[in-house]
């Protein structure tokens, strides 16, 4: 017998993250020390009080059944967190929905909202699940170019009217992944007006809301007047509190969309493990000094990495946010070729930019998920790699 993938799966590209992981493992097996700056999985531990809470509740044998949904304390904690951090008021019963991580929600949303043939406006470059979720749902993709000369913001007025007439949803993300740009309230206000005019659901991915540097403001899309009328916002504890493996996040905003996604999810999962939910509540209602300390540590990593790369002659833009550096690669390379050679020759793993869309070609994404001394060593290895390449060309 011969089993083949569905047409939907065939439309998806192979996971570049797995390709890079395989390349990394092959290099390690050959005896090479590899500095892994590829996947955005935090190397910092969760706060001690979060771990203690998880341990305490995991010891209760009565808490191992299905939770089915978010416990009320979780929704209350999200509402508290949004009020304290972003000055956004949320109704915890109708405007908050727990997820098994924000990627889980993003993966399911398109299937819950769009019909085959509906257009979705997706950033290019953008995180792969945006496009993949639309393909799974049978929707059509219209890429929105994110270019440096436009502050990595889409030119909404350049989207054809015939496309907009068939568009049901648009996805944006600030601070973004892989492009680490920020957006101001003026841009978000423009998005609200645009969405109302064309009857489009706005989906804002805010997963890096607490990794914003240099004193820049943390602006939730939900803080903009009219945002709840047209949109929702995904957020997560994965990056904020280093709980990536716990798989817990949430979506907030428009009540109708929250209800639709909740109904969809009721057919798919049975809720997050109770001890994890209680640990998340503890995190979201903490005094947030942990967050202030952590963002400074990421700023230090960013500065160490960029300073080291500049010494090698590789001029890289300074990320205003996230745990990533979005770097234009030296001339003469394709993104994938550069990333793979960097693993094989220098022992440094990064993600090629073309994994994030057509306009990602010519870039790589570098994750700051190693301590400063390892980032310094990575920059030194890249310097040697580029020196050898320059000498041979």
Query: How confident is the model over 214-226, as pLDDT tens digits?
Result: 999 999 999 999 9
Element (H, E) at 234: strand 231-236
117: number of Cβ within 10 Å: 10
Handedness of CA 52, 55, 59, 63 (dihedral sign): positive
Q: Does residue 328 register a pLDDT over 90?
A: yes
- 143: phi then psi, degrees, rounded to nearest 5: -75, 140
pLDDT in tens, 249-304: 999 999 999 999 999 999 999 999 999 999 999 999 999 999 999 999 999 999 99
How far lies 388's CA from each of 78, 160, 345, 383, in Å?
Answer: 51, 47, 10, 9
Distance (Å, whole) CA 18 – CA 20: 5
Distance (Å, whole) CA 51 – CA 41: 17
Confidence (pLDDT) at 123 = 98
Confidence (pLDDT) at 73 = 98
Element (H, E) at 352: strand 351-352
Distance (Å, whole) CA 233 – CA 96: 10
Cβ-based neighbours of 267, under 8 Å, separated by 6 or more = none
> Hey, do 12-45+289-385 and 63-284 end up sharing a CATH topology, with the first three levels equal?
no
Task: Answer yes or no: are the C-beta atoms of 253 and 228 closer than 8 Å.
Answer: yes
Closest CA to 182 of 200, 204, 159: 204
At what angle are helices 48-58 and 274-284 packed, to 10 degrees? 150
Report percent pLDDT > 90 for the chain: 92
DSSP assigned state of 98: E
Distance (Å, whole) CA 224 – CA 192: 8
Q: Does residue 2 register a pLDDT over 80?
A: yes
CATH class of the domain comprising 63-284:
alpha beta
Half-sphere exposure at residue 218, Cβ-oriented, CA atoms within 13 angstroms: 22
Half-sphere exposure at residue 111, Cβ-oriented, CA atoms within 13 angstroms: 18
Cβ-based neighbours of 374, under 8 Å, separated by 6 or more = 35
Name the CATH architecture for the domain at 12-45+289-385. Answer: Alpha-Beta Complex (3.90)
How far lies 159's CA from each of 252, 320, 358, in Å?
Answer: 27, 27, 17
Confidence (pLDDT) at 4 = 86
Structure tokens at 346: 């220098």
Would you kindly state where each structural domain of the chain is located, as residue ranges? 12-45+289-385, 63-284
Task: Answer yes or no: are the C-beta atoms of 279 and 56 closer than 8 Å.
Answer: no
pLDDT in tens, 72-107: 999 999 999 999 999 999 999 999 999 999 999 999
Confidence (pLDDT) at 392 = 63
Structure tokens at 226: 């009219």
Predicted TM-score of the model (pTM): 0.96
How many residues belong to the chain? Answer: 393
Strand, helix or coil at 324? strand
Confidence (pLDDT) at 7 = 82
Cβ-based neighbours of 89, under 8 Å, separated by 6 or more = 79, 82, 83
- Over range 147-171, report the average pLDDT: 97
- Over range 150-165, report the average pLDDT: 97
């Amino acid at each position: 017998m011969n089993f083949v993938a569905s047409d939907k799966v065939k439309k998806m590209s192979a996971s570049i993250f797995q390709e890079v992981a395989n390349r990394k493992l092959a290099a390690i097996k050959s005896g090479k020390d590899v500095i892994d700056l590829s996947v955005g999985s935090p190397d910092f531990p969760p706060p001690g009080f979060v771990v203690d809470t998880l341990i305490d509740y995991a010891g209760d044998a009565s808490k191992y059944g299905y939770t089915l949904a978010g416990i009320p304390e979780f929704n209350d904690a999200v509402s508290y967190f949004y009020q304290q951090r972003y000055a956004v008021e949320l109704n915890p019963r109708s405007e908050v929905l727990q997820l098994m991580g924000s990627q889980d929600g993003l993966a399911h949303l398109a299937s819950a909202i769009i019909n085959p043939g509906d257009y979705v406006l997706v950033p290019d470059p953008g995180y792969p699940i945006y496009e993949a979720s639309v393909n799974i749902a049978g929707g059509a993709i219209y890429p929105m170019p994110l270019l440096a000369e436009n502050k990595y913001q889409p030119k909404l007025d350049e989207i054809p009217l015939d496309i907009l007439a068939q568009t049901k949803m648009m996805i944006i993300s600030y601070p973004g992944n892989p492009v680490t740009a920020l957006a101001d309230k003026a841009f978000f206000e423009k998005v609200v007006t645009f969405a109302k005019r064309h009857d489009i659901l706005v989906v804002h991915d805010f997963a890096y809301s607490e990794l914003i540097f240099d004193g820049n403001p943390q602006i939730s899309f939900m803080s903009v007047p009219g945002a709840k009328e047209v949109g929702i916002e995904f957020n997560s504890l994965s990056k904020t509190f280093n709980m990536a493996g716990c798989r817990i996040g949430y979506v907030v905003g428009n009540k109708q969309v929250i209800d639709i996604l909740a109904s969809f999810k009721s057919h798919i999962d049975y809720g997050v493990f109770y001890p994890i939910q209680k640990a998340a509540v503890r995190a979201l209602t903490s005094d947030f000094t942990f967050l202030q300390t952590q963002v400074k540590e990421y700023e230090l990593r960013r500065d160490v990495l960029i300073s080291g790369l500049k010494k090698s002659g590789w001029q890289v833009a300074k990320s205003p946010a996230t745990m990533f550096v979005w770097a234009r690669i030296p001339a003469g390379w394709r993104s994938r070729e550069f990333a793979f050679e960097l693993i094989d020759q220098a022992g440094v793993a990064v993600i090629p930019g073309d994994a994030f869309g057509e306009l990602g070609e010519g870039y790589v994404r570098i994750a700051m998920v190693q301590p400063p001394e390892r980032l310094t060593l990575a920059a030194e290895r890249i310097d040697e790699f580029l020196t050898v390449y320059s000498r041979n060309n």
